[in-house]
Amino acid sequence: MRSAIPQFLQYLAHERNASDLTIKAYREDLFGLVEFLEDQRGSTPKPQDLSPQDLRGYQAALQEADYARNTISRKLASLRSFYRFAQRQELATTNPASPLRNPRRQRKLPHVLSGAEVNRILKTPPLNDPNGLRDRAILETLYSAGLRVSELVGLNDGDLDFDQQVIRVRGKGRKERMSPLGSFAVRALRRYMPTRNRDPLEPQSPSAATFLNRFGRRLTTRSVGRMLEKHIQVAGLDTRTSPHTLRHSFATHLLDAGADIRSVQELLGHKSLATTQIYTHVSAANLLAIYEKAHPRAR
């Protein structure tokens, strides 16, 4: 197993063009299984040695360790994908992960900010220094276009079209989409971009990173998370707020304002409409809360 897994990861990187985050998740999932089996057996098994019963034992151990159901489902999907590869490479004759059933999916409503809370955090970064200008541009862009943080840090200067007020976004699976950019985000980006301290060794071209750290290099998702934590404290928002909260808020506010769900699906870059439908539940919950608060005979 320990020699077969790197082969599979190489296949994902070079033939499936999987992202670094996807490969990292597969690596953690598969080596987690290996460590479990080594602890159980005292040795490292070969791919063909495993049976569905072995993997059911692993699934049961994950459940006992209180892993979220969505996490367990993802780990099982990693195993199925690995064994399909192993069968093609004649490292295994069967796929022991095929008979395993995913636990029922956990439907947890995302944390969403109100319009007033969004305005509060967007106005938190100061406009009198380069870092504040950058942070304001980041927050405005995240909320204006409903981006994932990985999509935001992956933006290049050539992806921005201020005349048309759109940006080119590279989403999951390298799939590209065009997202509209509101006037507030355009204004924030125009203020920020001339203040950037670029690394002189980095090429100045359309492929140059839009959002930079203090060394003039592309910002990371972790840096955006740390930046947001600071502004959350200043704005006095719920500690559950994360960079993804702005994406959740973007979708929910569009639906609350009457946008149709398929348009929101396109804007978010969701492959499946079912993924977008969770925001209809959030909108319904918001409407119910407003009704119970405002209607004299709601209670």
Q: Is residue 14 annotated as part of the catalytic site, yes or no? A: no
CA dihedral 12, 42, 46, 82 (to 10 degrees): -30
Q: Name the active-site residue from 75, 218, 231, 247.
A: 247
Active-site residue, 247 included: yes
- For residues 268-283, one letter each, b for 16 or more C-beta atoms within 10 angstroms of the residue's C-beta and e for the rest, the string is bbbeeeeebeebeebb
Candidates 27, 80, 172, 177; catalytic one? 172
| SS3 state of residue 159 | helix
295 included as an active-site residue: no
Residues 6+ apart with CB under 8 A from 235: 117, 120, 121, 124
217 is catalytic: no
Rounded-to-integer distance, Cα 196 and Cα 217, Å = 10
The one catalytic residue among 84, 168, 198, 244: 244
| 214 and 232 Cβ atoms separated by less than 8 Å | no
Asked about 120 being catalytic, the answer comes back as no
The active-site residue, picked from 75, 148, 248, 253, is 148
**Locus of tokens 């119970």:** 292
Q: Kindly report the length of the chain.
A: 299
Are residues 110 and 238 in contact, defined by beta-carbon separation less than 8 angstroms?
no
Spatial contact of 86 and 92, defined as CB atoms under 8 Å apart: yes
Q: Is 270 a catalytic residue?
A: yes
Catalytic residue among 56, 168, 170, 270: 270
Active site residue ranges: 148, 172, 244, 247, 270, 279
